[in-house]
Structure 1
Amino acid sequence: MEDNQIQKEIQSQNQLSNDEIISWGQLLSEAKDTLTKANVPDADIDAWLLMEHCFSITKSFFFLNRRQIVESKEKIKQYREFIKQRAARIPLQYLTKTQGFMGLEFSVTPAVLIPRQDTETLVETLLSYAKDKPGASLIDVCTGSGCIAVSLAHYGNFAQVTASDISSAALLVAKKNAADNHASVQFFESDLLEQVPGRFDMIVSNPPYIEDDVILGLEPEVKDNEPMIALSGGKDGLIFYRRLTETAKDHLNPGGALFVEIGYNQWEAVAELFRANGFSKPTLVRDLAGLDRVVWGVLDEM
């Protein structure tokens, strides 16, 4: 076949592709099949959520128009690119760039851990504790996206909410989320509490707590995409609990309290660290699934 004939054939194929006619229903079905073949969890849900995000449509619109032709070729191309990335196990939230938490919307990027509903237990526990302590001060350590600090500033009655993170990239996301949600939060770039001045009535943290060996067996969405600095708690998952409990007394006011999220199997180990560092009566809180989720305690009076 001569070169000019080959070129004509390519042009003909491209024209067919450019002129493709596809309905809303066919496009969604195609996306579901792609994600299912890639073993993506909840393929049906993610295919729809990405369509909703890409085309800004409602389910009512879709069901009323599912046999109609999708007019925007550019949007079809964009949607298929989203599906391609999701099939490669890029987390849905990194594609839509948003995640709901405590009834608020948070921007997320690969610089931060994606907020989980489980962590709402930590926020709700602290809000319940602080409801009769108006005007208290607190700091959220390892703030990441800022979802904890922003939620506490939004729903609580605190005189001061502070947040810290070692990652400057994460702090940029957290500051945006505070601004977007009209929350007053002061931010510090700090390794835990090392570069943060002053003392607080409460310290809260969802630190990295997954054992290094366990990380290797996690879903690709997590182990290959979310920041390792926000996941790894070292060989036993307890590195940051040791550091937090050891230094908390130097950053808490008298009678101050420490709240941390934990893994489902870490209650006894973390409770022992609390007791060894001046929190004699640590308390366990379970999440909605019945799993151990939060440990908190009040610093013993000297």
Structure 2
Amino acid sequence: MSFDVPEACTLPTAERPLRLAEFDDLFATAVRRVDPISATHARLHLTGPAGLTARVRDLAARETECCSFFAFTTTPEPAGDGEALVLDIEVPAAYADVLASLAQRAVAVSAGTHRRLTDAVTARLDGVQADLAEVNRQALEAGPGTPGWAKTISASASLSEDAGRLHAVAAALTTTTHDGPCGDSCGCTSALAATGTAYHFPHDPASGEAALSCDLAADGGDVHHRIGVWQQALGRVERRDPLPDTPNGVALRFPFDVDLAGTLGRLAAAEYRCCSFGSYTLIVDGAGLRLEIRMPAEAADTMAAVVGVPDREEATAS
């Protein structure tokens, strides 16, 4: 957004872009609201780290030296952390257009900060999702139930929690259209309180399928403890069979054991509470124990990372 420098300004032409950049940085990092009091009076509400008041007063003093028609008044306000203040800017009627241009720039630049923050959070979420996909690949490669798998799948769980929080922050930032500076009505405020209790799988809206999400708070949110239980159970898998009705599933075969059957039942129930889009079937028969797990395509890689895929020989035979 352009800003027309008034002829009355005595700041050397070469220094004007630098001064404008100083104002833009202040607008982008500290302005939370702009109130147009009158055609000749604008009020800016600012918050920031310690030193903000001194920074604003220094910039205002230097601006007054070259543009003496500006009258800047700073009023400190209570702040929980850092500093908060109100900056009143007044001009004679002849410079009302200059003030209006400055106020509009403050609104535009501070609103741009909100958009950049939203884009940054979204980009970070995409990065975490990519990291998660790679960690899940490493977990499968390590071999479900092995010590290497336990370490890697624990990292996967932590990344899922990070992704859940970032998704919640992104949702808070984009829930309401915001065209002005950050403030109480801005998504930035609610984003600070976002808890992120659900992991949302990457989803293509054009697929026509419902988006999948896992409840990270289910079963007490103790997914890291469940990894240890899974490790013990997976250590007793005799083989992994493909399922005839879906490519996105596996049948884990175990020897018959009453205690193990109870453990598998509890694991299946806990996984269902977390990821209710899946199907978990425990079968007890003359062949022993069989836990059949079916997943939608979008969650197939995650399932494979946790419990493994059908043995190559079985998959080839099918």
Q: One fold, TM greater than 0.5?
A: no
TM (normalized to structure 1)? 0.27
